[in-house]
Structure 1
């Protein structure tokens, strides 16, 4: 009897030591280990002590679940903070999408992952990022109207496939990538901005039953952040491009001119002809007919330059009624021919106001890089000097810059 008590007492001490070890690393306690000890306790301690230990084991399991949930929630909050921080600093869509994948992978299994975008009225769905085992198989384009993505777009409801045994009859629409292994758990969440449907975000695992309801909720929040960030990035891109476009004529502006000229001159062994063009009668037209006719003349000159510009050429409204045309690799003769074509365009298309034809005349200066100047500023000064000579010669003529 004394021996039995001693064995039970020793076993009890062993259990207490194990409990202490578990409590020091509670989030790592394995459920199978808990169940094995519980069975062992039921076999060796069938009395009141056994019941107390069983209850203690149950409480340790509950504590582990709560700590694990708190740790998961902590990581959940951290990922949302990190996403907000990253998205606030970048307008690059590719970076936004890849960072979303990286951060989602920190809080849930993401063996496969994609984000799809859809604009109402489109017949196709754009999938810019589709990752399987770390490889991006995007961008992809799929038809609208079939598969899981279209179903989520139509219903605006999350779809959670917990096992492939529940999978619908269109497996090819679940994911893309390596056919050697397929995913077993999939979550498809609609990307919503207010009441607007923007697309679908999906995370998938090779394991069955890999996700819980909490993962759905987290993916919804992440999806909203991604949709907001992409919408902001697209708006920024439109505004950025507009900052290089002249509002009145629709051609590029002086910011675009300086950007493009520096880029052209940075290329090895590059050459470019700069055609600088100025109207001869803007002030007179504004004074006599009004500014609306002056604006019409500016637009007509821009039309002529766009019509004449070659595939590699770019026309710019630099300021007021001053225009630039950059023509890479053009010879002096080719630049002069472009100017003649511009004059001919304007000759056969005069402005018409109150049944009166108003001719549009221009003065032009031409300079070339690197023949005339070796820098962007020098090239612009040379073309400007040639244009000034055209003005002094009586306007409506062309001057090619000549050193000395």
Structure 2
């Protein structure tokens, strides 16, 4: 009897040590290990003791689940903080999408992952990022109207596939990961921005039953942040582009001119020809026919410049009725030929106002880098000086700086 008691006492001590270890590392405990010990002892204890021990085991199991959940929520909150921090600093769509994948992978299996975008009325769905085993196979497009992505967009509802054994065998629903292995657990969440569906975010695993309800909620929040960040990035890009574009004519403006000229010179491009062009009769048109006709004259000059630009040429409305044409690699003779083409284009397309044909006349100055100047400002001053000389000659003529 004493020997039997000693054996039970030793076993009890082992159990207490095991329980102590569980409590010290509760988040790492295998729930199956807890259940196994409970089953093992239920056959050895009295009914009353077995019930008490069962309560202890359930309490340890519940503690394990709560601690695991708290740790997951903590990591979840860190991810949302990291996403907000990253998205506040970048306006590059590719960086936003890749960072979203990296951070999602921190708290859930993402053997396969994609983000798809859709604009209402489009016939295709764009998938800029489609990752399998860490490799991005995007960008790709899929037809709108069929498959899982279209279903999520149409219904605005999350789809959670826990195992493919319970799903119909539709190819477009299954083959999201490796061509050799089907994903078994998939979550497809609509990207919502206000009341608009912007697309779908999806995480998938080759394991069955890999995700919980919490993972759906995480993807919803991340999806909203991604949609917001992409919308902000696109707005920033439009505003940025507008800051370099002339609103009246649609061509580049003076900011773009200085930016492009400095860039050409920093890249060592040579030669560079600058054509500076100015209207001769804008004031007269404004005074006689009104500013709407003056605006049309400015647009007519811009159209002529665009029509006659070749190769790497770029045209700019610098200010008022003053225009620039940058022509890297051109000779002064080629620049003069461009000006003749511009004059001919304008000659054939006069303004028509009150049945009157109004010719569009321009004065032009031409200068070259490095022959006429060694800096961007120097090149602009040389072309401006040549243009001034054209005006003094009687307007509607061209002056090359070095030959004036």
Q: TM-score range, shorter-chain basis? A: over 0.9
State the partner residue of 2:375. Answer: 375
Tell me the SS of whatever aligns to 1:106.
coil
**Alpha carbon RMSD of aligned pairs, Å?**
1.7
After the TM superposition, which residues 86-125 of structure 1 pair with which residues of structure 2 at under 5 Å, given as runs? 86-125=86-125
Assess if the C-alpha contact under 8 Å between 1:114 and 1:203 holds in 2.
yes
Query: Is residue 2:13 matched to residue 1:13?
Result: yes
After the TM superposition, which residues 41-56 of structure 1 pair with which residues of structure 2 at under 5 Å, given as runs? 41-46=41-46, 48-56=48-56
State the partner residue of 2:352. Answer: 352
After superposition, the C-alpha distances for 1:51-92 in whole angstroms (9 at most, x for unaligned) are 322321121011000110111111111211211121122111
**Structure 1 Cα separation of the partners of residues 380 and 108 of structure 2:** 57
State the partner residue of 1:314. Answer: 314
Tell me the SS of whatever aligns to 1:4.
helix
Q: Number of residue pairs matched? A: 404
**Structure 2 Cα separation of the partners of residues 241 and 168 of structure 1:** 47
Could you tell which deviates more after superposition, 24-33 or 47-56?
Answer: 47-56
Gaps of 5+ in 2: none
Tell me the SS of whatever aligns to 1:44.
coil
Q: Tell me by how many angstroms 1:403 deviates.
A: 7.7
**Structure 2 Cα separation of the partners of residues 95 and 314 of structure 1:** 30
After superposition, the C-alpha distances for 1:107-127 in whole angstroms (9 at most, x for unaligned) are 111010000001111111100
Assess if the C-alpha contact under 8 Å between 1:147 and 1:174 holds in 2.
no
Q: Tell me by how many angstroms 1:191 deviates.
A: 0.9
Q: Tell me by how many angstroms 1:103 deviates.
A: 0.7
Q: Tell me by how many angstroms 1:400 deviates.
A: 0.8
**Structure 2 Cα separation of the partners of residues 264 and 253 of structure 1:** 16
Assess if the C-alpha contact under 8 Å between 1:372 and 1:403 holds in 2.
no
Assess if the C-alpha contact under 8 Å between 1:265 and 1:271 holds in 2.
no
State the partner residue of 1:336. Answer: 336
Assess if the C-alpha contact under 8 Å between 1:148 and 1:174 holds in 2.
no
Could you tell which deviates more after superposition, 38-47 or 217-226?
Answer: 38-47
Tell me the SS of whatever aligns to 1:249.
coil
**Structure 2 Cα separation of the partners of residues 37 and 46 of structure 1:** 15
After superposition, the C-alpha distances for 1:115-155 in whole angstroms (9 at most, x for unaligned) are 00011111111000000000000000111111111111122
**Structure 2 Cα separation of the partners of residues 112 and 202 of structure 1:** 8
**Structure 2 Cα separation of the partners of residues 269 and 65 of structure 1:** 66
Assess if the C-alpha contact under 8 Å between 2:75 and 2:107 holds in 1.
yes
